[in-house]
Structure 1
Amino acid sequence: MLKELNLIDDQTNTDEIVQAYTQNMHDQLNKIIKRKNVSFNQATLDYLQKDPDNNELVIAPAIQHFKEYALIVLRFNDQLVAWCNERAGADYRVLAENLDHHRTNIHNFCLSDIKILNRLAEKEHQAPFAVSSKENPDRTDYGQAIVKFCCENVCEAIKNE
């Protein structure tokens, strides 16, 4: 596929594949960082957390999914480079595909969690949890918001220690 997109010359050269993929990921992450289309409303989350049922059944798992997704995104390139140095071509490709599949699955869980949190907020007559400046935000917009949310929470926790 990378060859078809003219991102690489030799589809059997693993180093070239990794370099092209890594560069593409860096480009994508830079685009994600610049996007400001979706943000999460901490006040709504705080309000929803007051209900122990919401917190245990919905919010805690959602936050865990957000953390897992953010960690995968932030470690993705480093993990690929490490595997490339440790594994042969076919083994590397299988691991990379599995990691990408896992990232997609966790992202899907996060998107479902966001919809549920928005429905809970609406039911409780609160502002939506996820707010967008776009009429139809895409997966990347939500992914960026998840990573930003997790990074902000880590910074806040460090400040409070």
Structure 2
Amino acid sequence: MIRLGGTRIATLGLLAAALVGLWKALELDSWGFDGPGPGFFPQLMAGICVALALVVLAFPGQAGETEGGDTDDVEATQESNRTFAIYIAAFAVFALGATYAGFAVTVMAVTVVIMRFAERRPWPASIGYGIACAAVGLVCFGWLLRVDLPEGPIERTFYTYVR
């Protein structure tokens, strides 16, 4: 029998929201004569959310057991607060970067801040992931879907070669 813990209950709520989003997104045209339609991205994202929710429902993971008592709880809370503060700082970088630096630099900076400082990944992995995210975003959204992204020197150079 499947036990409904906190993770599964929260995931059921997210699954319900994703299914409603997918249902509404399927009412939009996914593809038109000139390429992706207005429903393509919402359908893709809602489908991914449904799939991920199903995975978490099937494999919710296990919460770590603490043996040390209150000191472990205090340390875990401090670590959680530090991580939360770094994510808030990443939102500030995102807001300022989108205004002044353009899409690619902003995505790279936000990704590095989150990966390196909040998730404590090594510098090479953080920078590589940031570059990959910026490249995928530029190609998929800026070039293929022709979304108006915040422009900086990198975006202008990229668009001169592909448009």
The TM-score, its normalising length taken from structure 2, stands at 0.29
> Which structure is higher in RCO with an 8 Å CA cutoff and minimum separation 6?
1
The TM-score, its normalising length taken from structure 1, stands at 0.29
Larger-Rg structure: 2
